[in-house]
Amino acid sequence: MPNHPVPVPSSVLAALKNKTIHLSAAKMIHSLFLVNASGDIFLEKHWKSVVSRSVCDYFFEALERATEPENVPPVIPTPHHYLINVLRHRIYFVAVIQSEVPPLFVIEFLHRVVDTFQDYFGVCTEAAIKDNVVVVYELLEEMLDNGFPLATESNILKELIKPPTILRTVVNTITGSTNVGEQLPTGQLSVVPWRRTGVKYTNNEAYFDVIEEIDAIIDKSGSTITAEIQGVIDACVKLTGMPDLTLSFMNPRLLDDVSFHPCVRFKRWEAERILSFIPPDGNFRLLSYHVSSQNLVAIPVYVKHNISFREGSSQGRFELTLGPKQTMGKAVESVLVSSQLPRGVLNANLNPSQGTYTFDPVTKLLSWDVGKINPQKLPSLKGSMSLQAGASKPDENPTINIQFKIQQLAISGLKVNRLDMYGEKYKPFKGIKYMTKAGKFQVRT
Amino acid sequence: VSAAPSAFSDEKGGSASEPEYGHDPASGGIFSSDYKRHDDLKEMLDSNKDSLKLEAMKRIVAMIARGKNASDLFPAVVKNVACKNIEVKKLVYVYLVRYAEEQQDLALLSISTFQRGLKDPNQLIRASALRVLSSIRVTIIVPIMMLAIKEAASDMSPYVRKTAAHAIPKLHSLDPEQKDQLIEVIEKLLADKTTLVAGSVVMAFEEVCPDRIDLIHKNYRKLCNLLIDVEEWGQVVIINMLTRYARTQFLNPNINESLLEENSEKAFYASDDEEEEDKKAEPATLAKRKPYVMDPDHRLLLRNTKPLLQSRNAAVVMAVAQLYFHLAPKAEVGIIAKALVRLMRSHSEVQYVVLQNVATMSIKRRGMFEPYLKSFYIRSTDPTQIKVLKLEVLTNLANETNISTILREFQTYIKSMDKDFVAASIQAIGRCATNIGEVRDTCLNGLVQLLSNRDELVVAESVVVIKKLLQMQPEQHSDIIKHMAKLIDNIQVPMARASILWLIGEYCEHVPKIAPDVLRKMAKSFTNEEDIVKLQIINLAAKLYLTNSKQSKLLTQYVLNLAKYDQNYDIRDRARFIRQLIVPTDKSGALSKYAKKLFLALKPAPVLESPFKDRDHFQLGSLSHLLNAKAAGYQELPNWPESAPDPSVRNVEVKDSVCAERTVLTGPEEVPTRVKCSSRKDRKEKKVEKPFYSDSEGESGPTESADSGNCESDSGSGSASASGSDESGSGSESEESGEETESDEEEEDEEEEKKKRKKLDKTKAKKQAEESAERCTIHTIHQISCIINFDQFDMNKITSVFSQTLAPSGSIKMYELLHRIKGEGLAVEYCFSRQPFSPEPNMVAVQIQFTNNTNSETKNLHIEDPRLQSGMRIREFAEIDVLAAGESVTVVMGIDFCDSTQAANFQLCTHTRKFFVSIQPPVGELMTPAFLTENDFKKEQGKLMGMNEILEKLTLGEKCVNEHVIVERVTATANLSRVPCGSDKECRFAGKTVSSGCLVLVTVTTKEGGGAQLTVNCEKMLIGTMLVKDILQALSQ
């Protein structure tokens, strides 16, 4: 390649001239601060020169201004830096940025960090992070180089830094050995960077969970304002060697919009609607999909409600009945109803026909753990609410949020046709499970 | 563990410019204990036990994590930089990178360790050394870093090259003076063809020289093609860069439409279907302009980024979305909507950013999101900031057809408990009302009803919005104004009070009775009002004075007097100004005549605009767009050029025309266990007659099978009987694959093939006669070869003989390129034939055998889209037009591996499918035999001492009983030739690397009792190390 630049056409030169050319400061993530719910910084990591933790004061200001923890703006500009934060597990991950970078880039990365911690420590809490601070540091060191993501694939990280287990901790203390892999990972160099090499199992098994969530808004009268189905296929694959899997559906047309794990061969999907992939080792999300909105969404539960406040009275009436609607003959389980009652409500005196309910007089959150819906005997919650004496009747009506699960059913009707494995000789054990859950399922009253 | 920065440590540190982070008052006061603690850490670090060191390092890292100062431990820590324990080493690196900047002098002590690491044969160690070295922010080592980066940039490991790319911005921020040199490295790395490097080098490009668009031209197509295989983070960076690039190089695909928009802007809101209008007006504009044709490269970018909308990574999806928004023809932008709507299922922070961008897009391209209107409906559980953004989008999407649905939604929102959200909803209603004339009255009525809401904030917000709406048609709404005048008694929110006052003042003629009364009340409370309210009181007073001076003269003067002594200078100024203007005095200037005109001029109605209007001049998805302000380092999105720059700058040299060699195999399933010799084409070239010599034939005696003879004849035919062998043509080569196996095959073969074979057998017989003759020639010739300077001869031909004669039968391994099942019936295997690749002597010949196991023909077998490391080249075989069902075909292709064991990746294409395949050579196949005399060998070996020599002791495997086996094993491992040697304890081999021709010398010295010593001399240390490993393994088996 010649060293001298290719002549630039004059129009481009003109465009370039008008542009201020920055000697851009170092990009991407400069530092990371972890802040707990009470507003203490309990971990900091810098990938470039150190940024004083006083920069977080701007974050704390924003935190104070926000009425709710989740209302802190994800991007906070300060005189010299930009703070981009995400809130997960009641921990704020505050990244310090010095110059232009796509905010989603940072946000997505921070979430990936949290996912990794969760993957490593089971939970991502302040205590877990503090207990494993060295592993956390090693992970952060590998995940970012100079603030730019380096290794974020969990399979690669696990080859670099072994996750702590109780056994290993004990062994390590005795032998003084380490969590750092002796072998440098080959995955990073291979054509399938998401899969570890040299995987071996005595029992070869591959499980796929098709989980669908219904997002819906039901209005006062019980008619559906909006309803859609979002699904995911989560996989747990424990197969020896380099298996090449294909998964096909009976009705792939149902899938309107999909996003894939990088292992899925996109062209194959485009051409044949078959998922063909070399899976990562362990747990991963193979696919997320959205079911075409043309299809009518079956709403598995209905709610009858009568929540009323009378003017001048310090009492309000509360009645709620749940019933199964279109459940394809399957039981609706793990039903949980929650509702944010108006501020004026002091207490609620209710009587559930089944399950238990709680009402928090401070947050005004009512939640009713219903359990399973028995179609013969519909669960109901009835009683009265006491209001602040003398206060006028609240003019807002609470919304009711419902959670439920239906086992062995994908509400969209999606069905896996077959799962095949190539490239390895053994016969794996295969399993597919279906489940439907409520996503953001709201009933307006 | 808790430790705090002690005064002690700061003194000691000397350069303690660092502020004390996380100073913990609880433990910080006790200096002595602190000092002791560090002392104890130092002791642990000095100990011999790795476990103690590790424990100490863990505690130190925990201190750093908590933001405590551990800089006084620097000397103790830096000593351990060369520690053998990997975890200790890693933690030391962590420490070093954190504190090196503060302790520059001490940090230098560690540099040599990394310099050594840079030369390590293990690519990962090289990479990690470079990573740490470049992370140490010590200016004095800039030249060392520069050198290291330059070297790593041409490393044969893509991982090391990736690390080099990462190091570039580090060095650049440390010393911007190095920019020019770094750009050279970037230019070099941009040419790299691996996906691993692509993302990182573009990141470096963006940081160091984002304006050097010219560096991209030649790599543009490659980047587009690699994109889908680059890791996610790299994809984001590349897509953003390519967006900018495309804006400078291609024409606006919407050029006709944008012209149209200018013409029809007034009709913009009214038009239901913009597309339709476009079509109507199109012919007119087309007549004026040249028809727009999209540059194929522009199309390439759009096509190759589209699949990434399906990425699981929100940042990638957003990057593609903004690319389409900024670059795609209007008709195609729509595809991004679905993906963006999908992202709204993600974490709330992701939603927040996506909604900001959707808000901007939905102003420009409303139609795009209309089908997804319901996805923006608000749930009570959404955080407020999300609710407000959704509201913004809903408002932008509102039009005549959907407004009733949207307003119904808005009505539910107004009842929400979240008051900030209610306020935003009211504003949204106001905006819908201004934008869509039909619903203005409905909205106004709804808002007036809100005036009786119990919540003051709701009322206040409604007042403000109503004020704006009324301004559009005040005459019809005097009763609303009256209603609002009554509210002034109750509403406390300053903005609302100010709005009411302004309304009354502005339309005092519509409410002549009420207005003076309001002023009276306000005059009473003037001193207690907020500043904005005070200003409006003065305003109201002035307007009333001008229209109804009889009733309000005194009141006005009273108000102005109060304002004169107000604390706020704005209010004092305003009062003074208004008094001069309206109250006629002797000195009053010419202006007071026009006072009424000034105050009661007809004011244009405010336009309720989205705060996201015109935000798209920032590149979408950028931080600057989100903040609506230019962030540091933001690269402006250039405007489309008027005329397209020369597209030929992106042309890359086309690969040399294909050279292929093919033979047809008889059996479909049989896999030849040995390599076939060179083929027709090869042979033709050998018509160039050259004498043909070889030495050391004798040593290969035992391996000399009929087969090797075959090969000799083949390659030797040029010298002996060129015409004869040419005749033997296409079919005969297949027979060379091995006579022993053939007899078996024959039985299985079908009748038809038998016939063919008979014919071939005849040729074979003839050939064998020739062969034996040739073998004799070689025998005689090789004896004199020592005397002749072999440089004059065609080395390749000699070597080919050698490789064949030396390769023990069956030792040439077939590798699978494409499994039968994966290839859907097409099985592909390859082997390293150890033949010279005649069209390009520095390429390794790879023989590929295709077998069609399907029932139908496979057509157009060819190679596409090779992805190679920089410097690597491929010479493809000629396309195979048809491969009948059950047939096999063998071809030879050449690959220049650049003396590295990196895989050559390419696509194998048939007429229906494409398969990604890769060929990775064992190190032994990267060389070709070289012919040296004993003396030459010793001389060359003498030159390759020191670093270039690798010695290894080994125990020979049980079967390595004699020299013969050793020779066999070594030559099977590596394509080397045996060098004659006087001692019977030593076996020597020589070869040179195919690509660069570096000598590779191998000596195996056997000792008593099964011991042996292996010596490898090679300038390319990496090759040497790898070779040692392989030979060791072969010999100790």
**Tokens at residue B694, please?**
């070889």
Question: For the domain A301-407, what is the CATH code?
Answer: 2.60.40.1170
Q: CB A263: neighbour CB atoms within 10 A?
A: 19
Distance to chain A for B94, nearest Cα, Å: 8
State phi, psi for B983 to the nearest 5 degrees. -80, 145
CB crowding A67-88: b at 16 or more within 10 Å, else e: eeebbbbbbbbeeebbbbbbbb
In chain B, the residue whose alpha carbon lies closest to the alpha carbon of A392 is B454
Identity at A51, one-letter amino acid code:
V
**Tokens at residue A185, please?**
């990972």
Confidence of residue B747 (pLDDT cuts 50, 70, 90): very low
Query: Which candidate from B18, B58, B217 shows the least CB-CB separation from A6?
Result: B217
Please state which CATH class domain A205-297+409-444 belongs to. mainly beta
Record: contact A146-B166, CB cut-off 8 A: yes
In chain B, the residue whose alpha carbon lies closest to the alpha carbon of A219 is B412
Tokens 């905006």 belong to residue: B431
Q: CB A100: neighbour CB atoms within 10 A?
A: 26
Record: contact B342-A395, CB cut-off 8 A: no
Give start and end residues of each alpha helix (H) in B733-854.
739-748, 751-784, 795-806
Mean local confidence (pLDDT), B27-56: 71
* Strands A416-422 vs B858-867: parallel, antiparallel or unpaired: unpaired
State phi, psi for B593 to the nearest 5 degrees. -60, -35
| H or E stretch at B737 | none
Rounded to an integer, what distance in angstroms lies between the CA atom of residue A372 and that of residue A386? 29
Record: contact B214-A191, CB cut-off 8 A: no
In chain B, the residue whose alpha carbon lies closest to the alpha carbon of A396 is B415
**Which of the listed CATH numbers 3.30.450.60, 3.40.50.720, 1.10.3720.10, 1.20.58.220 matches domain A10-189?**
3.30.450.60
- Among the residue ranges A158-172, B241-255, B822-836, the one predicted with the least confidence is A158-172
Rounded to an integer, what distance in angstroms lies between the CA atom of residue A215 and that of residue A227? 5
Confidence of residue B703 (pLDDT cuts 50, 70, 90): very low
Confidence of residue A19 (pLDDT cuts 50, 70, 90): very low
- Looking at every residue in chain A, the average pLDDT score rounds to 84
pLDDT tens per residue, range B930-945 = 888 888 888 888 888 8
In chain B, the residue whose alpha carbon lies closest to the alpha carbon of A277 is B822
Query: Which candidate from A41, A97, A189 shows the least CB-CB separation from B159?
Result: A189
Record: contact B453-A395, CB cut-off 8 A: yes
With contacts defined as CB-CB under 8 Å, which chain B residues touch A266? 228, 307, 310
* Cα–Cα nearest to A99, from B239, B627, B216: B627
Mean local confidence (pLDDT), B752-762: 53
Where exactly does CATH 3.30.450.60 map onto chain A? Answer: 10-189
Q: B908: which strand partners?
A: B863, B915
Distance between first and last Cα of chain B? 52
pLDDT tens per residue, range A218-245 = 988 888 888 889 999 999 999 998 899 9
Q: CB B521: neighbour CB atoms within 10 A?
A: 13
- Residues with Cβ within 8 Å of A329's Cβ and at least 6 positions away in sequence, in order, are none
Q: Where does residue B419 rank: exposed (0-12), middle (13-18), buried (19+ CB within 10 A)?
A: middle
Record: contact B638-A15, CB cut-off 8 A: yes
- Residues with Cβ within 8 Å of B843's Cβ and at least 6 positions away in sequence, in order, are B837, B873, B875, B894, B895, B896, B994, B995
What is the pLDDT, as a whole number, of residue A232?
Answer: 94
What is the pLDDT, as a whole number, of residue B696?
Answer: 38
For the whole model, what pTM was predicted? Answer: 0.68
Say whether B768 sits in a helix, a strand or coil: helix
What is the pLDDT, as a whole number, of residue B20?
Answer: 41
pLDDT higher at B686 or A320: A320
What is the pLDDT, as a whole number, of residue A158?
Answer: 82
Record: contact B233-A105, CB cut-off 8 A: yes
* Cα–Cα nearest to B720, from B775, B762, B674: B775
Rounded to an integer, what distance in angstroms lies between the CA atom of residue A277 and that of residue A263? 5
Mean local confidence (pLDDT), B959-976: 81
CB crowding B67-84: b at 16 or more within 10 Å, else e: bbbbbbbbebbbbbbebe
Rounded to an integer, what distance in angstroms lies between the CA atom of residue B896 and that of residue A385? 82
Q: B662: which strand partners?
A: B891
* Cα–Cα nearest to B932, from B983, B1004, B999, B997: B999
- Among the residue ranges B591-595, B800-804, B871-875, B978-982, the one predicted with the least confidence is B800-804
State phi, psi for B882 to the nearest 5 degrees. -140, 135
Rounded to an integer, what distance in angstroms lies between the CA atom of residue B557 and that of residue B572? 14
Rounded to an integer, what distance in angstroms lies between the CA atom of residue A250 and that of residue A270? 16
Rounded to an integer, what distance in angstroms lies between the CA atom of residue B482 and that of residue B517? 12
Mean local confidence (pLDDT), A203-229: 91
- Provide, rounded to the nearest whole percent, the portion of chain B with pLDDT above 90: 17
* Cα–Cα nearest to B336, from B310, B359, B315: B310
C-alpha neighbours within 13 Å on the C-beta side of residue B756: 15
Rounded to an integer, what distance in angstroms lies between the CA atom of residue B421 and that of residue B418? 5
Contact in structure between A216 and A442 (CB atoms under 8 Å) = yes
Judge whether residue A306 has pLDDT over 50.
Answer: yes
pLDDT higher at B885 or B703: B885
Distance to chain B for A91, nearest Cα, Å: 14
ipTM: 0.89
Contact in structure between A238 and A282 (CB atoms under 8 Å) = yes
Q: Where does residue B901 rank: exposed (0-12), middle (13-18), buried (19+ CB within 10 A)?
A: middle
Query: Which candidate from A77, A137, A217 shows the least CB-CB separation from B379?
Result: A217
**Tokens at residue B742, please?**
């053939």
Judge whether residue B557 has pLDDT over 80.
Answer: yes
Confidence of residue B504 (pLDDT cuts 50, 70, 90): confident
HEC assignment per residue over chain A: CCCCCCCCCHHHHHHHHCCCCCCCCCCCEEEEEEECCCCCEEEEEECCCCCCHHHHHHHHHHHHHCCCHHHCCCEEECCCCEEEEEEECCEEEEEEECCCCCHHHHHHHHHHHHHHHHHHHCCCCHHHHHHCHHHHHHHHHHHEECCEECCCCHHHHHHHECCCCHHHHHHHHHHCCCCECCCCCCHHHCCCCCCCCCCCCCCCEEEEEEEEEEEEEECCCCCEEEEEEEEEEEEEEECCCCCEEEEEECCHHHEEEEEECCCECHHHHHHHCEEEECCCCEEEEEEEEEECCCCCCCCCEEEEEEEEECCCCCEEEEEEEEEECCCCCCCCEEEEEEEECCCCEEEEEEEECCCEEEEECCCCEEEEEEECCECCECCEEEEEEEECCCCCCCCCCCEEEEEEEEECCCCCCCCEEEEEEECCCCCCEEEEEEEEEEEEEEEEC
Mean local confidence (pLDDT), A16-23: 37
Contact in structure between B956 and B1027 (CB atoms under 8 Å) = no
Q: CB B981: neighbour CB atoms within 10 A?
A: 17
Q: Measured between alpha carbons, how far is residue B307 from residues A94, A270, B513, B1004 in Å? A: 32, 9, 69, 55
Rounded to an integer, what distance in angstroms lies between the CA atom of residue B226 and that of residue B735? 41
Rounded to an integer, what distance in angstroms lies between the CA atom of residue B782 and that of residue B697? 7
In chain A, the residue whose alpha carbon lies closest to the alpha carbon of B405 is A225
**Tokens at residue B161, please?**
């090259």
What is the pLDDT, as a whole number, of residue A309?
Answer: 81
Query: Which candidate from A26, A149, A191 shows the least CB-CB separation from B173?
Result: A26
- Looking at every residue in chain B, the average pLDDT score rounds to 77
pLDDT tens per residue, range B176-216 = 998 999 999 999 999 988 888 999 999 999 989 988 889 99
| H or E stretch at B735 | none
**Cβ–Cβ contact A70 with B under 8 A:** yes
**Cβ–Cβ contact A183 with B under 8 A:** no
Rounded to an integer, what distance in angstroms lies between the CA atom of residue A285 and that of residue B283? 50
- Among the residue ranges A410-414, B234-238, B700-704, the one predicted with the least confidence is B700-704
Rounded to an integer, what distance in angstroms lies between the CA atom of residue B446 and that of residue B463? 12
Confidence of residue A188 (pLDDT cuts 50, 70, 90): low
Where exactly does CATH 2.60.40.1170 map onto chain A? Answer: 205-297+409-444, 301-407
Q: Measured between alpha carbons, how far is residue B663 from residues B736, B746, B763 in Å? A: 11, 18, 15
Mean local confidence (pLDDT), B706-723: 40
Mean local confidence (pLDDT), A110-138: 91
What is the pLDDT, as a whole number, of residue B277?
Answer: 45
